[in-house]
Structure 1
Amino acid sequence: MSITAEKIITEEIIDHAFTYEEYRDMIDDLLEQAKTTGDNHSDEMIHYTKMNVQRMSRWDNRVELNDSLANKLNNLDEDWIWVVLTEAWCGDAAQNIPALVKMAETSENIDVRFILRDQNLDIMDEYLTNGGRSIPKLVCLDAETLEEIGTWGPRPEMAQQKAMEWKEDDSVSKEEWAKNLHKWYAKNRNKELQKEFEQLISEWQN
């Protein structure tokens, strides 16, 4: 656990973080102004954000937790806060966040909050993936002490492995890379994500 990270995810950060509903409303409000989160409001980034709104809305209606994961969540007897670093234009965030929200909603003991990566780079830089500021990144905290319990992200491990393989393949263009990744999410239907969180919840419990 990073001592620095533990200190910079403060009560003030959490108090000002978004609920999922607030996060979604904020994105909608920005899109009405032809903007997205962050400083890059190019047509490309706006397009990504619009696609992500569609993805989140679709998953909001489709995510179904498997019985084993639901039971673990229902039987959780520790109070946690899940702080998720994200941005509206991030495709991986849109694919995974609805399932994370569903998990939190299933347990009375988990409160999930969202903060924007580019407004919190001091926090983001404590949770780099292979040296990069990859999102989404979930940090599980003890709700009382704000002690860091564990982390997850930015993708299910199977998706991360495939994403890195495609990235290293010179024959796969950036567009093909993204298409392949989103096809993987559609086909997998959160199964790998749920499997990972079954294991993580067991590891994170004292």
Structure 2
Amino acid sequence: MKNIIAKALFKSHTYPEYRKLVADLLVDGKSTGSEQSESLTHYSKLNDARMNRLDKTIQLKDEVISKIENLEHRYIWLVISEGWCGDAAQILPVINKMALASHKKIDLRIVLRDENEELMNEYLTNGGKAIPKVIIICKEAGIVRADWGPRPKGAAELITNYKKEFGVLDEKIKTDLQLWYLADKGVSVQEELMQVVENIQYSRL
């Protein structure tokens, strides 16, 4: 497992590098990932605009900032993502703000799912390659302590209930999901990730 993480980190991007990679591909009418299609490029374009907005508007809760500033240990948050992923577009700007507020206690690194199949296969969700996935690594020990994702509990319940009722995930649920994120304002991501980190700290590294 350590070798898989090490290989992924070697190919990883900072948040600004990831944003530039997605934007540069869009100039050529492409998206990240091994599959290329008009719809994936369309979603990547929407997500790029969405992330531009969220980078400016996302606010961290005061209590979250306080907890981040007082972390006892240093971490790498390794995120598996793709530019076309709607959940990633909503979540990454929040995680980036958390990393920035940590005063370098959280080192945010991003890898592309399709370029890191070995890593993705270690973090499947119900057998599927759902993203984003946040892998929390203790920097001092160099080992994985926890993971989170692919979406907050409230968003996951929205998807689950819709699929139970209608049997499919169509354009309506995609719109409903984006409205859920809009109303949530990144709060669930902040709270859930901090709870994961606190659970690590309570278990004593």
Structure 1 residue 172: deviation in Å?
6.5
Q: Deviation digits for residues 35-75 of structure 1, max 9, x if unmatched?
A: 11112221111100000001111110111111111001000
Q: Give the equivalent residue in structure 1 for 2:175.
A: 179
The answer to whether the 8 A contact 1:72-1:201 is kept is no
Q: Give the equivalent residue in structure 1 for 2:85.
A: 90
Q: Give the equivalent residue in structure 1 for 2:28.
A: 33
Q: Give the equivalent residue in structure 1 for 2:140.
A: 144
TM-score (norm 1): 0.93
The answer to whether the 8 A contact 2:8-2:119 is kept is no
- Given the alignment of the two structures, is residue 129 of structure 1 paired with residue 125 of structure 2, yes or no? yes
Q: Give the equivalent residue in structure 2 for 1:48.
A: 43
Aligned equivalents of 1:137, 1:13: Cα separation in 2? 13
Structure 1 residue 169: deviation in Å?
1.9
Q: Give runs of ≥4 in structure 1 deviating > 6 Å.
A: none
- SS of 2:162's equivalent in the other structure is helix
Equivalent in 77, 83, 90 of residue 72 of structure 2: 77
- SS of 1:140's equivalent in the other structure is strand
The answer to whether the 8 A contact 2:8-2:116 is kept is no
Q: Give the equivalent residue in structure 2 for 1:99.
A: 94
The answer to whether the 8 A contact 2:15-2:110 is kept is yes
Cα 1:90/1:173, change in 2 over 3 Å: closer
Structure 1 residue 162: deviation in Å?
1.1
The answer to whether the 8 A contact 1:14-1:113 is kept is yes
The answer to whether the 8 A contact 1:36-1:46 is kept is yes
- SS of 2:26's equivalent in the other structure is helix
- Tell me the matched-pair count: 201
Gaps spanning 5+ residues in structure 2: where?
A: none
How high is the sequence identity, in percent, across the aligned residues? 39
Structure 1 residue 164: deviation in Å?
1.1
Name the stretch that deviates more: 17-26 or 186-195. Answer: 186-195
Structure 1 residue 198: deviation in Å?
2.7
Equivalent in 131, 139, 156 of residue 152 of structure 2: 156
RMSD, aligned α-carbons: 1.4
- Given the alignment of the two structures, is residue 204 of structure 1 paired with residue 200 of structure 2, yes or no? yes
- Given the alignment of the two structures, is residue 58 of structure 1 paired with residue 71 of structure 2, yes or no? no
